[in-house]
Structures are given as structure tokens and as C-alpha cells.
């Protein structure tokens, strides 16, 4: 999970949620393991007949393993990193997200268009909820940072953003 990081200077505050290169490499490496199923079940075994129901079961399992590999590889190359930049000098809020196969598409708004900065909760069917920063703009768009399991961490980032915005709007 890309935990948000905050970088602050006198007239600029950035909330970055990077997907680390190590995580991308790990996901790509994990994508290789499911390929063992087709090798062991289809290629290594010398099937006398492909019309046997055991072969159909092996083919079904192999197809599932290939789909899992495809999902892991997709996560490795298309996992998003995002960045929120509050720039008092330029008077803008810029949100951008990118990945190795996704071109950056920054969206810029005047700082005055930022309506609210909130801590949002995402409930999961199993386990504890995760939290992320939600920045709402005047046109109703809500931009989200990366998530954290700690509500306190996101509350701290929200407080710093609110403090920065209150100083920038004065």
C-alpha cells in the first residue's frame, strides 16, 4: 500500500503516494510462480489423449494460473503513484497520477477551488479499514491519496494540509 509522504516548504506542500520500484519488481516476480502450473500439468506430463477429463481439469487449473499471472503483471506495470501539490506561490492545487504504462495526466485547480480536505475510510470485508486523504474541489471531484492503516497518520497529513491552506488563503 503506498503510504502517503508529505513534503513541505514555505509556499509549497506535496502529498506523495508512490508505488515503490521494489514493489513493482516483487509483483512481477510473483507473476512468474503461477506459470509452474501449466508447465507441471500440461507440458511436463505426456498426455496420451487431450480428450480426457483429467486433461480438461489440468487445462482449467492452468488457465486460472495464467490469469493470476496476468493480474500480478498488470499490477506491477499499471500500479499508480499519485501526487497532490498545493502551491501557494502559483495559487494552484495539482493532482497527478502515473505508472510505467500510464501517462501522467495532471489536473490543476486554483487553491480557492479546494472545498474540503477530509480523512476518508475504506471498509474491507475482512480486516481493519484503511484511511486515505480526500481533497474535494468546487466541481465535486474528490481526489484521493494513497492509503494507510493508521487513521492518525492521515489525520496528521490532513491537519498539515489544512494549516497550509489556511495560511495560503490569508
pLDDT tens-digit profile of 43-68? 888 888 778 888 889 899 999 999 99
Position 33 scores a pLDDT of 92
d(CA 113, CA 65): 47
Confirm if 17 and 146 have CB atoms less than 8 A apart.
yes
Regions of the chain short of the pLDDT cut 70: 1-2, 168-170
Confirm if 128 and 149 have CB atoms less than 8 A apart.
yes
Position 2 scores a pLDDT of 57
Q: Which helix (H) or strand (E) holds 163?
A: helix 151-169
Q: What pTM, to 2 d.p., does this model score?
A: 0.77
Position 142 scores a pLDDT of 93
Amino acid at each position: 500500500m503506498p503510504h502517503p509522504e508529505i513534503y513541505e516548504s514555505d509556499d509549497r506542500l506535496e502529498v506523495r503516494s508512490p508505488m515503490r520500484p521494489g514493489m513493482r519488481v516483487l509483483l512481477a516476480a510473483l507473476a512468474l510462480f503461477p506459470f509452474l502450473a501449466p508447465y507441471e500439468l500440461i507440458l511436463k506430463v505426456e498426455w496420451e489423449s487431450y480428450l480426457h477429463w483429467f486433461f480438461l481439469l489440468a487445462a482449467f487449473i492452468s488457465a486460472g494460473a495464467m490469469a493470476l499471472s496476468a493480474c500480478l503483471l498488470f499490477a506491477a506495470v499499471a500500479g499508480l503513484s499519485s501526487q497532490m501539490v498545493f502551491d501557494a506561490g502559483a495559487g494552484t492545487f495539482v493532482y497527478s497520477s502515473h505508472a510505467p504504462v500510464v501517462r501522467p495526466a495532471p489536473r490543476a485547480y486554483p487553491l480557492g477551488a479546494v472545498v474540503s480536505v477530509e480523512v476518508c475510510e475504506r471498509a474491507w470485508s475482512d480486516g481493519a479499514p484503511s484511511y486515505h486523504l480526500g481533497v474535494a474541489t468546487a466541481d465535486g471531484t474528490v481526489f484521493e491519496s494513497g492509503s494507510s492503516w493508521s487513521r492518525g497518520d492521515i489525520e496528521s497529513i490532513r491537519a498539515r494540509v489544512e494549516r497550509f491552506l489556511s495560511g495560503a488563503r490569508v
